[in-house]
A = this chain, B = another copy of it.
Amino acid sequence: MKQVLSILVRNQPGVLMRVAGLFSRRGFNIDSLAVGITEKPAFSRMTVGLYGNEATVEQVKKQLEKLVEVEEVRLLPSDAMVARGMALVKVEAGEKRMEALKLAEIFRASVLDVGAQTLVFEITGGDDKIKAFIDLMAPFGILEVVQTGVVALERGESAMQAVESKYDWPERCNEGKDVCQVI
């Protein structure tokens, strides 16, 4: 069964490597990964999509919690979460351009770029919807697909929040500087 782990981490050097290393060394297998800052730039949130039974995933969770940079880990309840991903799909539509555009409309995909021979669509939704859209576009000729991986939040009022004042944070980077937010 596909599970979603949400990991709140402090932006410190090497945290991504330590989290990735934990999955890799212990043979846990990731299906997708999304890492981005939260509303507090000192923290990032990693969303990991993985297959595994509940006992296995519970074990990963416990090991993640031992890492010093990890503030909190939650295994999101599959019946009480909203989970979405995004894909950009470059299609070689050529003369069938109008047909591709019409089909994309049904999926509420946005058009990001129109070239002489190509179209780039943005599609958001659950895994199934994104897969269905890619399958639908396949006959036109797919040039490239890039996906974000799933991101998810629990429904209702429950929230993962970190307290900023507990630590001394490094400054987040400014444009032009080489060293900045470090994950």
- What is A's interface to B at a CB cutoff of 8 Å? 1-2, 6, 13-14, 16-17, 20-21, 23-25, 27, 29-39, 45, 47, 51-53, 56, 82, 84-88, 90, 92, 112-113, 115-118, 120, 122, 124, 134, 138, 142-149, 151-153, 155-157, 159-161, 173, 175-183
Contact = CB atoms under 8 A, between A and B. Distances in A.
A75 to B, nearest CB: 15
Given A90-B153, A148-B85, A178-B56, A16 B6 contact: no
B148 A36 contact: yes
15 contacts: A1-B175, A16-B33, A17-B20, A29-B183, A38-B144, A51-B173, A51-B175, A51-B178, A56-B178, A84-B112, A86-B86, A88-B152, A115-B156, A122-B124, A148-B148
